[in-house]
Structure 1
Amino acid sequence: MKEKIIEKANDMFLNLGFKSVTMDDLASEMGMSKKTIYTHFQNKTKLVEATTDHLFCSICDGINGILDQKHDPIEELYAIKAFVMNHLKNEKTAPLHQLEKYYPHIHQGLKTKQFEIFQDCVVDNLKRGIEKGVFRKNIDIQFISRIYFIGSVGIKNKNMFPEHMFPVGKLMDDYLEYHILGITTEKGRKILNTLIKEDQI
């Protein structure tokens, strides 16, 4: 039952927002009493914490599955982007904004864990890209991995990137292309151009 509550809460939070969904809403949606939910979660904060942990683990498992497939490094970045976008309901802005505003401690903890996983993943991707000749040999791997993470977080700032001007899907595509173009070789650029064309079909 606890898993079912987490899964339903996850779906509702991502679609409607962490603040917008109440325990009453969740109970009604699941056809159970609010008291039943409270037997598993002391309060809504505990539920939000469990839900974000569950989501984080699911995304990590999915990314690890992609990494195991040993794609070309540039193709791998596109595969990860597509998976994450799909898993986060195309990165709807309201839920993430509400998580940061109303549950800052949870948001910060999640961000720290994201960086740790992101760093390992991107550093490995950059090293393999250099070995395969699709990324330039003279790039500073530690600098690139960190600036890429900061940018990934920064483009979610809706004051800087209002959604009516920067639709989320296109913004993510443009940022990934910007990242790759800054580090790629001629060989890598050919792969990138092919992926961009395939994305547009």
Structure 2
Amino acid sequence: MRENIIQIALSQFHQLGIRSVSVDDICATLRISKKTFYQYFKKKEDLIEEIIQHVQQHFVARCMRQQKDKNSIDILIMNIREIKRAMEKESFLFWHDLKKYYPLLYSRYYDLQRDVVRTTFEQNIRCGMEEGYYRKDIDVEMLSYFHTVQMRHTFEAMIEDQQHFPLKRVVDFFIDLMVHLIVNEKGLKYLEENYYDKIKK
């Protein structure tokens, strides 16, 4: 039942926004009593927090499954595709409401997301340098910091102005930016031969 509540709430939050969906709405959809709901979640905020953790864990697990026996370039491309896929599934109304009405949860989510993205990106950069696909003169710490900060600000800008910053435009920009910042001639050749015409699909 706990998983059912999470899945139904997540679906309704994406469709209508967090604020517009009440505990009563979730219970009515599942045909359960509020007493049953409160056996699993003491309040709506607890449910929202668990949904955020659920989304984060699912994303990380999916990325990790796809990285087995892949080089740094392959992993970079898969991560780009996975981020794009995840963003296509996300409702910006959900994140807008989270930021506006539950700022502490929003901040907590981004602290976790920042740490995951930064650690993963740093590992990929160091691996790519060892494999000979990435430039040797990269300031790994500075680049990973820049990457995570820019991702957050860009995502927040998209929440506020979706028409001016459509998903495809943002993803294409980050692909070009990351590719030209980190790869050397060998890496660029590998991208052109294996991925470059497919990355943005």
TM-score with structure 2 length normalisation? 0.87
The residue that corresponds to 1:54 in the other structure is: 54
Between the two proteins, what is the percent identity of the paired residues? Answer: 25
1:189 corresponds to 2:191: no
Deviation at 1:162, TM superposition (A): 2.8
Alpha-carbon distance in structure 2 between the residues aligned to 1:87 and 1:170 = 15
1:146 aligns to what? 145
CA distance in 1, matches of 2:159, 2:18: 22
The equivalent of 2:75 in structure 1 is: 76
Distance (whole Å) between structure 2 residues aligned to residue 125 and residue 56 of structure 1: 19
**Cα distance, 1:120 vs structure 2:** 1.8
Q: Which residue does the alignment assign to 1:120?
A: 119
Q: State the alpha-carbon separation in 2 of the partners of residues 36 and 76 from structure 1.
A: 43
3-state DSSP of counterpart to 1:197:
coil
- Secondary structure (helix, strand or coil) at the match of 1:134 reads coil
Report the Cα offset of residue 135 of structure 1.
1.1
Unaligned runs of 5+ in 2: none
SS in 2 for 1:32: coil
For 2:175, the aligned partner's letter is: L
Number of residues paired by the alignment?
Answer: 200
Q: RMSD value over aligned CA atoms?
A: 2.2
Q: CA separation of 1:103/1:146 partners in 2, compared to 1, >3 Å: closer, same or farther?
A: same
Q: Which amino acid aligns with 2:4?
A: K
1-side partners of 2:191 and 2:100: how far apart?
37
Match of 2:28 in 1: 28
Does 2:128 align with 1:166? no
Question: TM-score, normalized by length of structure 1?
Answer: 0.87
* Counterpart residue type for residue 195 of structure 2: L
Residue equivalent to 1:9: 9
AA partner of residue 27 (structure 2):
A
